[in-house]
Amino acid sequence: MKKAIVIGATSGIGKSITEILIQNGYEVGITGRRVDRLQSLKEKNPDKIYYCQMDVQDVSIVDSICNNLVDQLGGLDLFIISSGIGDENKLLDFSIENNVIKTNVQGFTCIAVWVMNYFKKQRHGHLVSISSIAGLIGNGEAPSYNATKAFQINYLEGLRLNAYKSSVDIHVTDVRPGFVDTDMAKGEGMFWVAPVEKAAQQIFTAIKRKRKVVYITKRWRMIGFLLKIMPYSLLRKM
């Protein structure tokens, strides 16, 4: 039986992917801060789910919690990082920016480093992380969100190259959603908002195909291309 860990499985994309993995015969270790939600996922699938409460901002506990989940699972094939936050911050309050950075950069990096070192030791594995199409451009209303997603995109590419140079069978998939209907996707001006189950199903297909980069849903690939070539005069109007 295949073994997976999902970080940020208490809601949204992480929860939906967890459910798809269970339907496809995986045993899954899950984390998040809201322990009642972890418990209720466990109750629905008592033999298939193991959980540990974890705040990704507390990097001192990442090693022990990940090791604990792997021990309970009895191995690890797939690791998905879906934890993430974003906040509007037009007035540029540093505490808001710092909170986003601690989750999306510091916590993310600590977890990604743990998993890559684990996979390098066993010489195989698959890391999947949910970045965002937002990482392709700056954002005047939530600067830290887009900037941290740009960091993730670049870091995941670095990890993929690192694995390649180490001659190990490790795959790294960077998932770049547009808008997905979750707690995070609030506010105005959203379009092409995908149901979370549809997004998670497309992510699972990309995992099976071991894709390097995938836009979710598929039509966002075109937006991704346009964002990369968009002139600054247009970006200012967004």
Instruction: Identify residues 204-223 at the interface with ligand NAP (CB under 6 A).
Output: none
Secondary structure letter of residue 220 according to DSSP: H
Query: What whole-number distance in Å separates Cα of residue 171 and Cα of residue 88?
Result: 33
Among 3, 4, 5, 10, binds ligand NAP (CB under 6 A): 10
If the CB atoms of residues 169 and 197 are measured against ligand NAP, the closer one turns out to be 197
The residue (of 82 and 202) whose beta carbon lies closer to ligand NAP is: 82
**Cβ contacts of 140 within 8 Å, gap of 6 or more:** 90
Q: Which stretch binds ligand NAP (CB under 6 A): 44-52, 68-76, 77-85, 161-169?
A: 77-85
Q: Closest distance between ligand NAP and the C-beta of residue 135, in Å?
A: 9
Query: Can you list the alpha helix ranges (DSSP code H) found in the chain?
Result: 12-23, 35-44, 62-73, 94-101, 108-122, 143-165, 196-208, 220-229, 232-235
Measured CA to CA, the distance from residue 17 to residue 172 in angstroms comes to 17
Q: Which is nearer to ligand NAP, 168 or 201 (CB)?
A: 201
The answer to whether residue 19 forms part of the interface with ligand NAP (CB under 6 A) is no
Calpha distance 188→67 (Å, rounded) = 41
> Which range of residues in 61-69, 88-96, 155-163, 179-187 is near ligand NAP by CB under 6 A?
179-187
Residues at the site binding ligand NAP, with contacts judged by CB under 6 A: 8-14, 32-34, 54-57, 82-86, 103, 130, 132, 177, 179-180, 182-185
